[in-house]
Structures are given as structure tokens and as C-alpha cells.
Amino acid sequence: MDGILVINKPTGMTSHDVVNILRKKLKQKKIGHTGTLDPDASGVLIILLGKACKALQFLQDTDKVYKSSIQLGYNTDTDDIYGNKISEKEINLDFDFEKVLSSFTGKQRQKVPMTSAKKINGKKLMEYQREGITDLDVYTDVEIYSIKRISTEDLSFIVHCSSGCYVRSICRDFGLKTDNLSCMKSLERIQVGRFTIDMAQNLEDVSLDSIQLYPLEMVLSHIEKIEYQPVKDIYNGKSIRIETKANQICLYDNNQPIAIYQRKSDDIFSCVRGLF
């Protein structure tokens, strides 16, 4: 079975848990996800099956859209309500919610939550935290394309951001901008690249008879498509000569992607990944 499956991950389950359940349900050995979603978050989780697993390194449109809400009054060691409280503070409501949200837009250096899989010197930040090391200030470059209010009453919002952006950090930093302590109250991922929550299946509804697979071409459409003959050269991984301005091409056989080739010199391209 080859293709892309979009799952609406429930809360209380890790991304790895979802993969394990689907592996058994679908009797599929080659299966993986394109990026973890926190256990306490819900929403879009992209699953690759069969040949699609080989295309993971070529995923390009990995921007994400989330719905989230902010909890005022305290902060935690995980920057969400599921962590241990660090400090509490009287809530200050003297701010313009929409105006503060808009101040987050653009490119920025975002401080990474300690409870995260971000690696420093080969070790995850959460592993340092478990050892009692909590004073590491680690930053990552992100971009927030848009962030808009959903409701002022429960401080909920929707954010479109680059891959690697931590919504927990937005919720934590909201407190810093409004003379509050704060953390993230809820999180739902509603889009990853072109894959939306409307395209997702609930985990319990997936079976061999009911699976909704999307074609591999959906994650390769940004790479120039070329039908090439003799196709046996591609299956043998030979370098080929192609006249094109593109530096990377996807070669097809009977309208099916079979390999990714990279420019080596002039019009000579070499295979970087077979998809068969």
C-alpha cells in the first residue's frame, strides 16, 4: 500500500502511538509520520505509507496552521497547562488581545520550550530538563505569517506559521507582552502544507476497506515532472542527460513517480532517491 494518509489525531496519544496502531490495522511494514504532534494536542498528522516513506526528505510545503488558546495567571515547566506550575500571578486584562497577537507576526528568534525534542549536542532539551538542567536558553528561527483572534473571551486564536514554530512559546510570550504569566491551554493542528483537517480521517474509522489515501504526487508537485525513456536507466540508477533549467527533477514512468534526480553538472543529472 503506497500513498499519504491524513489522520485527525486525538488528544492523549503520541504520534508514534498512531503509527503503531495503523501498522497493525493496515498490516503495513513501511509506515511513518512527517512530524510529531504533542500528545495533548489534536489534529492533522500526515502518515506516509510504502513508497511514500522514501519521499519524506523532499517534503517542501510544511507550513502549519493551528487553533490554540491561552491560559493566564500562571506559567509551567512545559509552557502548557499540563505541566507543573512554576509561579502564579494576578491576571492583568488591560490589553488589546488582537493588537498583542499581531505583534507576533513576521520572522523572529523564538525561545524553544524546555519540554521539547529540540536537540542540543545530540541530546533533546526534555532530557536535560529531566536531569534538572532547566536554564538552557535555546532559540530557533521561525516565521509567523498570520495570527488572528478567534475569541477574546477565551483568548483563542488561529496562527499560520513556519515549520519549527512552537505555539506554546507564543502563549508563554503573550504573558511577557501583557504583564502576565501564561501558558498554552489548548492546541489543534488544522493544516500541514496542503493537507487540511477536512481531508483527515478519524483513527477509529481507518481500515483496509475504508482508508482514504492521497497520491505521492501531492508532496512532489513542486519538483519538475519529466517522463523519461529508456526507463530502465532510471531503475538501474544511472546518471542521465536532460535539458532543463531545474536543478532537481522527478522522473515518471507511466505517470507514476519513480525517482528524484539532482543536477550534477551542466545537463547531467544523478539519482538521489529511488521511489520504486
Report the distance separating Cα 236 and Cα 250, nearest Å.
Answer: 15
Largest Cα span, the chain: 72
pLDDT tens digits for range 229-263: 888 999 999 999 988 999 999 999 988 899 999 99
pLDDT exceeds cutoff 90 at 125: no
pLDDT exceeds cutoff 80 at 177: yes
Percent of residues, the chain, with pLDDT higher than 90: 71
Please give the average per-residue pLDDT across 121-130, as a whole number.
80
pLDDT tens digits for range 3-36: 999 999 999 999 999 999 999 999 999 999 988 8
Please give the average per-residue pLDDT across 181-202, as a whole number.
96
Amino acid letter, 177: K
Percent of residues, the chain, with pLDDT higher than 70: 99
Q: Which of 2-16, 33-47, 109-123, 202-216 has the lowest mean pLDDT?
A: 109-123
Residue 108 grid cell: 523572529
Confidence band for 120, pLDDT divided at 50, 70 and 90: confident
pLDDT for the residue 61: 63
pLDDT exceeds cutoff 70 at 108: yes
pLDDT tens digits for range 130-148: 877 777 788 889 999 999 9
pLDDT exceeds cutoff 90 at 69: yes
Q: Cβ(50)–Cβ(3) under 8 Å?
A: yes
Please give the average per-residue pLDDT across 101-115, as a whole number.
91
Higher pLDDT, 35 or 225: 225
User: What value does the mean pLDDT of the chain take?
Assistant: 92
pLDDT for the residue 148: 97
Report the distance separating Cα 221 and Cα 239, nearest Å.
Answer: 22
Report the distance separating Cα 167 and Cα 186, nearest Å.
Answer: 10
Q: Cβ(137)–Cβ(126) under 8 Å?
A: no
pLDDT exceeds cutoff 90 at 117: no
Please give the average per-residue pLDDT across 95-120, as a whole number.
90
pLDDT exceeds cutoff 90 at 267: no
pLDDT exceeds cutoff 90 at 121: no
pTM given for the model: 0.87
Residue 196 grid cell: 487540511
Amino acid letter, 184: M
pLDDT for the residue 168: 96
Per-residue burial over 148-182, b = 16 or more CB atoms within 10 Å of its CB, e = otherwise: ebeeeeebbbbbbbbeebbbbbbbbbbbeebebbb
Hey, which residues are catalytic here?
38
Residue 122 grid cell: 545530540
Backbone dihedral region for residue 115 (phi beyond 0: left; psi -120 to 50: alpha; all else: beta): beta
